[in-house]
Amino acid sequence: MSLDKRMSTWHMGRLWVTEWVSPKEAHMHGLEEIIYEGRTKYQHVLIARTFAFGKTLFLDGYVQSTELDEAIYHEALVHPAMLTHPSPRKVAIIGGGEGATLREVLKHRSVERVVMVDIDSELIELCKKFLPEWSKGAFDDPRVELIFSDGRRFIEETGEKFDVIILDLTDPAEGTPGIKLYTKEFYEAVYNALSEDGVAVTQATSIRYYLFAFTAIRNTLSKVFPKVRPYKIFIPAFLCEWGFMLASKSRDPLELSEEEIRERIRDLDLIFYDEEAHRFLFWIPKFVRKKMDEIDLVSTDSNPLIIY
Amino acid sequence: MSLDKRMSTWHMGRLWVTEWVSPKEAHMHGLEEIIYEGRTKYQHVLIARTFAFGKTLFLDGYVQSTELDEAIYHEALVHPAMLTHPSPRKVAIIGGGEGATLREVLKHRSVERVVMVDIDSELIELCKKFLPEWSKGAFDDPRVELIFSDGRRFIEETGEKFDVIILDLTDPAEGTPGIKLYTKEFYEAVYNALSEDGVAVTQATSIRYYLFAFTAIRNTLSKVFPKVRPYKIFIPAFLCEWGFMLASKSRDPLELSEEEIRERIRDLDLIFYDEEAHRFLFWIPKFVRKKMDEIDLVSTDSNPLIIY
Amino acid sequence: MSLDKRMSTWHMGRLWVTEWVSPKEAHMHGLEEIIYEGRTKYQHVLIARTFAFGKTLFLDGYVQSTELDEAIYHEALVHPAMLTHPSPRKVAIIGGGEGATLREVLKHRSVERVVMVDIDSELIELCKKFLPEWSKGAFDDPRVELIFSDGRRFIEETGEKFDVIILDLTDPAEGTPGIKLYTKEFYEAVYNALSEDGVAVTQATSIRYYLFAFTAIRNTLSKVFPKVRPYKIFIPAFLCEWGFMLASKSRDPLELSEEEIRERIRDLDLIFYDEEAHRFLFWIPKFVRKKMDEIDLVSTDSNPLIIY
Amino acid sequence: MSLDKRMSTWHMGRLWVTEWVSPKEAHMHGLEEIIYEGRTKYQHVLIARTFAFGKTLFLDGYVQSTELDEAIYHEALVHPAMLTHPSPRKVAIIGGGEGATLREVLKHRSVERVVMVDIDSELIELCKKFLPEWSKGAFDDPRVELIFSDGRRFIEETGEKFDVIILDLTDPAEGTPGIKLYTKEFYEAVYNALSEDGVAVTQATSIRYYLFAFTAIRNTLSKVFPKVRPYKIFIPAFLCEWGFMLASKSRDPLELSEEEIRERIRDLDLIFYDEEAHRFLFWIPKFVRKKMDEIDLVSTDSNPLIIY
């Protein structure tokens, strides 16, 4: 093969985002096109088209969601909690700037009102402009109230009661405000902001990279909620299985009948979530359960969980 | 961990293996130590300690198995097939140089004889010497016969009948002899080398990166076997869910009872596989099933499946 | 600087341009900020701030010039030729989109008219907008005529005679129009477009990476001009010594007196070029001279020099 | 072009050494073969064949010398000092484990005795075994005494006087013992260990990456020696111009006649160094001289120069 052929193949792949999983491991995403790069008041934002995942949102250098697989993440985050509540009318979303969590929530006919609270109004503007496929018009739905504010303060100060609260947050990384959205004190405020059969769900980091954090979130929620269920799903762009934690005041997601799930999602036009997926999401492999049993970390305001 | 520590470990991480997932995407593994690097007659071999996965075997530049998670791969490859057969006595393994597949097979008390056929005797010597944690003495078990030969020829020419045949192969990559171990003609020979209730299983590539190949393997096996079941599990070091394909003459793995599984693996000392895992392995998400329905590729000797 | 600081700056450096020197060697530039990314009709353009070199222009993925060291390149390209001519009044520049070559030419008081010919008008607009430090207003000088056209055609068709012609081109890379700007036929046209004591100069690729190309350019010019002088200078952002080739109808740059150089550049406000630099530019090390003696490649329209 | 072609090209290039120039800039060397990897008591050693530079020695992750260009480095380090002394008979080398500095010194007929002092005996054994092209038998020359010891202690305690002392050291990096081989107190000991017309030379780091260090070494030597001359040469594998510092008790290298140089190196079989090279080595560009004028750092035992 001639030299020229080899070089021209590589011609377009020279701009890369390198995600440092740790100082010892990294993933290189070849970029086809940069759509936006800049900084909001809160974070660095890169919107680019990667060769592997299509349009991709990077926050502070890490993949947040991608055209190829955002539906897996957002369906997994939203629907188990929405179905664990018998008939959610009022929903609060903390975070979720892309608008895809909102999109999934609004698919449920029972929903009358969604309050979405995100601190970063600039990010939301960027997502509306450059990632309209994520929100698919959700921001314009009359049931939605959008509040630009600190999520923790909102939850603590709102007098309103919600049926479902969805915590679509960045990880509790060192030096970021997200840290205070994973503590026992915050979860107590979440509990208080929920209605009688209320259900909360939070993203819960990577079970490959941060199993200690995933487990700490479970432990911490268990101090506050009677029923806590860890679950996970493989997200291609995250290169690992991603964790979630569902916390419920009364109903247990593991006791939902296949019939109820099938019935309630019938018209929702979902890509990945169905009654089978529901069951499988909650399976945690034996060796993971075993390692989780050895971690007793609980996150509190005075001694919070932090990911480095 | 203090910033100092992190920095100094970063300091030492300057030797990397870069795995090119595609010319547009790559994963960089920081190496702590190189244990062996060289070439056998058939492939390039690197045995190194990576920071993320411990001792790691790379063949032709790709992660083959790692200390951290080889048990997930090997348990997933071996046990579903071994249990689908009611009482396997004679087992053949094609490939599997590390000896870990052999190790898992030998855990089953019913096994009286295992024939392991690998073309690369140099690789097996390297694995014995540098990766003894993989085989854990399995090569010395008196039930084992080790044959250095072409796997396809062995299957075609052996007069023996096996209860289980395990195909622990490298991917059907361009220019490699593995290509002819994924074709309809080869699977016919496998069928003929199986006893009455015989079961075969093959690794079946990545369902993220090579869904077309995973599906082609299913399609091809389905031309030969009455029951074919795709399954998959997330392997951290592969950064994705890895596929397997189980083909059976009679029993269906989906119809095994939890009790039988629990009973038969009771003394096997497994890390990941149990009756719950068995069930969950076979779950294929909705959007994957849908994509698979659109692929009708069948691999034959004259038009074989090839991964580039 | 404290380890903390170092670590946190590492933290932000996750967006990289990887320049593939060859498929086996690459340089990774950490980016601080992306200023512009897009495609003109002729090439891919990235303007970014790298941590190492400040504002940087990448064309088709390769560093073209940087804030930190563009003056070294442009002074080395322009002044040896301008001084080899006794009093240049009319100058033509082919290429040179950033406007820095123009800036250096205009510093010479004797200059009455400069024609700059660049095929890529979009690139020039981008440089004017995003890299004004390069041109420093040169495009607005009344002595300048800017022509958007094919450089070869211009040189072949212009009736005008120039005292100095400066070829500030991209490399003759496979599949690019630059190839025809390095051939004997083109150099004959350059010769014809020069006045009696005319001098031409061309960038001449990397003497580390492409010594065969550097030498071929020398050989080719030597078929047309009586005096040809190779020279080079280390450019930090190019990671190597960069080559240039000066071709003259009469005066020899090696015979310029130190006094004349000192006198003529006295008011030019130069960063790197002076009478000492002039002498040292033309030094080619022994082992390089030796290798050049072994290369007899000449570039012609029918058999052009191409870099892969 | 077919996909298969592209991938196979990259097949062999997957093992890389990444040299971190800074946390924001790195160079990736594709490896063809690993020859040795391990740790001596003092440093990490990797000997590998890179695609770009052939056999290459990496110490603690940084290129130390390569088959392709070690002669440039070693000739530049050794010969200017050897010629600045009128007739060197006794020479000391501190460091220089590869044996190539020794090789160059021994080419001079006047030399009767060379003491080479290196702290790392294991490294020397590795170089003898794996890099014999570097030393070319020099370690077996009867004029050589090899001492495994701390270089600073040797210089301070030896009663012997040397005509030339060559400091072939690693950079004064944080946390390494090399720091104390760049201080005023050490240079005073070097002065005292030199004979009347004695000449010392030291490697002096990169003038691109560490100009402050290069200048500090000049400033420090100038506190001790009457004549100090900075010089530099481009080393391809270092991606930059590399600095050296010559310190002399009496003769000035800039005053050597071309005839003397030509005469004395006539039989030395050199690749790069000649009378022209001698002159050009000492040229420091205007903007570099200017920046050096602004740095007044002096390295002392109590406040030593350190590179991070």
D262-298 pLDDT, tens digit each: 999 999 999 999 999 999 999 999 999 999 999 999 9
- Model confidence at C9, pLDDT cuts 50, 70, 90, reads very low
Determine whether the interchain pair A14/C15 forms a contact, defined as Cβ–Cβ distance below 8 Å: no
What is the pLDDT averaged over residues D33-61?
91
Q: Are C98 and C131 in contact (CB under 8 A)?
A: yes
pLDDT of A175 over the 70 cut: yes
Q: pTM to 2 decimals? A: 0.85
pLDDT of C1 over the 80 cut: no
Determine whether the interchain pair D4/B46 forms a contact, defined as Cβ–Cβ distance below 8 Å: no
Under DSSP, the state recorded for C183 is S
The pLDDT of residue D3:
31
Q: Are residues B128 and B10 in the same domain?
A: no
**Window from A49-53, A124-128, C243-247 with minimum mean pLDDT:** A49-53
The pLDDT of residue A5:
34
* Chains with at least 3 CB pairs less than 8 angstroms from chain A: B, C, D
Size of interface A-B (CB pairs under 8 A): 106
**Window from B7-11, C101-105, D124-128 with minimum mean pLDDT:** B7-11
Q: Are residues C45 and C146 in the same domain?
A: no
Residue ranges making up the domain that contains D101: 70-293
User: Has B168 been annotated as catalytic?
Assistant: yes
> For residues D13 and A195, which has the higher predicted lDDT (pLDDT)?
A195
Question: Does a structural domain hold residue A87?
Answer: yes
* Mean of pLDDT over chain C: 92
* Chains with at least 3 CB pairs less than 8 angstroms from chain D: A, B, C
Give the CATH number for residue D40.
Answer: 2.30.140.10
Closest residue, chain C, to A63 (C-alpha): C14
Question: Does a structural domain hold residue D308?
Answer: no
pLDDT of C48 over the 90 cut: yes
Q: Are residues C268 and C194 in the same domain?
A: yes
b/e burial code for range C13-39 (CB count within 10 A of at least 16 → b)? bbbbbbbbbbbbbbbbbbbbebbebee
- Which residue among A16, A23, A34 sits closest to C18, beta carbon to beta carbon? A16
Alpha-carbon gap: D287 to the closest alpha carbon of chain C (Å)? 6
Size of interface C-D (CB pairs under 8 A): 105
Alpha-carbon distance of B218 to B241, in angstroms, equals 16
b/e burial code for range D242-280 (CB count within 10 A of at least 16 → b)? bbbbbbbbebebeebeeeebeebbeeeebebbbbbbbbb
Residues of A in contact with D9 (CB under 8 A): 1, 6, 9
Q: Are B45 and B123 in contact (CB under 8 A)?
A: yes
The pLDDT of residue B5:
36
Q: Are residues D165 and D40 in the same domain?
A: no
Q: Are residues C251 and C285 in the same domain?
A: yes
Mutate to test the interface with C, among A14, A21, A22, A24 (most CBs of C within 10 A): A14
Alpha-carbon gap: C4 to the closest alpha carbon of chain B (Å)? 6
Among D66, D86, D102, residue at a domain's last position = D66
pLDDT of D255 over the 60 cut: yes
pLDDT of D257 over the 80 cut: yes
Residues of C in contact with B10 (CB under 8 A): 10
Alpha-carbon gap: A109 to the closest alpha carbon of chain C (Å)? 42
Marked catalytic residue, from A69, A118, A120, A168: A168
What is the pLDDT averaged over residues A69-90?
98
pLDDT of A10 over the 70 cut: no
- Model confidence at D14, pLDDT cuts 50, 70, 90, reads low
- Model confidence at D24, pLDDT cuts 50, 70, 90, reads confident
Strand partners, C93: C116, C166
The pLDDT of residue D224:
98
Among B66, B93, B111, residue at a domain's last position = B66
Question: Does a structural domain hold residue A199?
Answer: yes
The pLDDT of residue C14:
64
DSSP codes of every residue in chain D? --HHHHHHHHGGGGEEEEEEEETTEEEEEEEEEEEEEEE-SS-EEEEEEETTTEEEEEETTEEEEETTTHHHHHHHHHHHHHHHSSS--EEEEEE-TTSHHHHHHHTSTT--EEEEEES-HHHHHHHHHH-HHHHTTGGG-TTEEEEES-HHHHHHH----EEEEEEE----BTTSGGGGGSSHHHHHHHHHTEEEEEEEEEEEEETTT-HHHHHHHHHHHHTT-SEEEEEEEEEGGGTEEEEEEEEESS--GGG--HHHHHHHHTTS--SS-SHHHHHHHT---HHHHHHHHT------SSS---B-
Mutate to test the interface with D, among B5, B6, B14 (most CBs of D within 10 A): B14
Residues of C in contact with B4 (CB under 8 A): 3
Residues of D in contact with A5 (CB under 8 A): 1, 5
Q: Are residues C50 and C162 in the same domain?
A: no
CA dihedral B151→B152→B154→B157, nearest 10 degrees, is 180
Determine whether the interchain pair B18/D17 forms a contact, defined as Cβ–Cβ distance below 8 Å: no
Question: Does a structural domain hold residue D305?
Answer: no
- Which residue among B23, B28, B37 sits closest to D10, beta carbon to beta carbon? B23
Mutate to test the interface with A, among C4, C12, C17, C18 (most CBs of A within 10 A): C18
Residues of A in contact with B76 (CB under 8 A): none
Q: Are residues C101 and C206 in the same domain?
A: yes
Question: Does a structural domain hold residue C306?
Answer: no
pLDDT of D74 over the 60 cut: yes
**Window from A166-170, D21-25, D81-85 with minimum mean pLDDT:** D21-25
> For residues C3 and C277, which has the higher predicted lDDT (pLDDT)?
C277
**Window from C299-303, D130-134, D206-210 with minimum mean pLDDT:** D206-210
> How many residues comprise chain C?
308
Question: Does a structural domain hold residue D301?
Answer: no
Alpha-carbon gap: C55 to the closest alpha carbon of chain B (Å)? 26
Residues of D in CB contact (< 8 Å) with C are 9-10, 13, 18, 21-30, 32, 50-52, 71-72, 208, 234, 236, 239-241, 270-274, 276-277, 280, 283, 285-287, 308
Residues of A in CB contact (< 8 Å) with C are 2-4, 6-8, 10-12, 14-20, 23, 28, 33-34, 37, 44, 46, 61
Instruction: Report chain B's terminal Cα–Cα distance, integer Å.
Output: 42
Q: Are residues C22 and C85 in the same domain?
A: no
**Window from A232-241, C112-121, C153-162, D14-23 with minimum mean pLDDT:** D14-23
Marked catalytic residue, from B163, B168, B274, B301: B168
Closest residue, chain A, to B1 (C-alpha): A308
Determine whether the interchain pair D3/B37 forms a contact, defined as Cβ–Cβ distance below 8 Å: no
ipTM of the complex as predicted? 0.91
Determine whether the interchain pair C52/D28 forms a contact, defined as Cβ–Cβ distance below 8 Å: no
Closest residue, chain A, to D10 (C-alpha): A6
Residues of D labelled as active-site residues: 168
> For residues A49 and C308, which has the higher predicted lDDT (pLDDT)?
A49
Determine whether the interchain pair B239/A239 forms a contact, defined as Cβ–Cβ distance below 8 Å: yes
Determine whether the interchain pair A2/C308 forms a contact, defined as Cβ–Cβ distance below 8 Å: yes
**Window from A2-16, B202-216, D178-192 with minimum mean pLDDT:** A2-16
Q: Are C10 and D23 in contact (CB under 8 A)?
A: yes
Low-confidence residues of chain B, pLDDT below 70?
Answer: 1-14
Determine whether the interchain pair A7/C33 forms a contact, defined as Cβ–Cβ distance below 8 Å: no
C170-202 pLDDT, tens digit each: 999 888 888 999 999 999 999 999 999 999 999
Total domains in the fold of chain D:
2
Residues of D in contact with B175 (CB under 8 A): 4, 8
Determine whether the interchain pair D26/C24 forms a contact, defined as Cβ–Cβ distance below 8 Å: no
The pLDDT of residue B16:
81
Q: Is the dihedral of CA D273, D279, D284, D286 positive or negative?
A: negative
D234-246 pLDDT, tens digit each: 999 999 999 999 9
Determine whether the interchain pair D30/C52 forms a contact, defined as Cβ–Cβ distance below 8 Å: no
pLDDT of C286 over the 80 cut: yes
- Which residue among B25, B271, B283 sits closest to A276, beta carbon to beta carbon? B283
Residues of D in contact with B15 (CB under 8 A): 16-18, 37, 46, 61
The pLDDT of residue B14:
64
* Mean of pLDDT over chain A: 92
The pLDDT of residue B195:
98
Residues of D in contact with C27 (CB under 8 A): 25-28, 239
Alpha-carbon gap: A209 to the closest alpha carbon of chain D (Å)? 23
C58-77 pLDDT, tens digit each: 998 889 999 999 999 999 99
* Chains with at least 3 CB pairs less than 8 angstroms from chain C: A, B, D
Residues of C labelled as active-site residues: 168
Q: Are residues C52 and C134 in the same domain?
A: no
Give the CATH number for residue B257.
Answer: 3.40.50.150
Q: Are residues C245 and C229 in the same domain?
A: yes
C12-34 pLDDT, tens digit each: 446 788 888 877 888 989 888 88
Alpha-carbon gap: B24 to the closest alpha carbon of chain D (Å)? 11
Residues of C in contact with D277 (CB under 8 A): 283, 285-286
pLDDT of A3 over the 60 cut: no
Among D66, D82, D103, residue at a domain's last position = D66
Q: Are residues A41 and A134 in the same domain?
A: no
Residues of D in contact with A6 (CB under 8 A): 6, 9
Alpha-carbon gap: B4 to the closest alpha carbon of chain C (Å)? 6
What is the pLDDT averaged over residues A272-295?
95
Residues of B in contact with D2 (CB under 8 A): 308
Question: Does a structural domain hold residue C5?
Answer: no
Residues of C in CB contact (< 8 Å) with B are 3-4, 6-7, 10
Question: Does a structural domain hold residue A305?
Answer: no
Q: Are residues C78 and C25 in the same domain?
A: no
Residue pointed to by tokens 């993949």:
A63
The pLDDT of residue C25:
87
Share of chain A above pLDDT 70, in %: 95
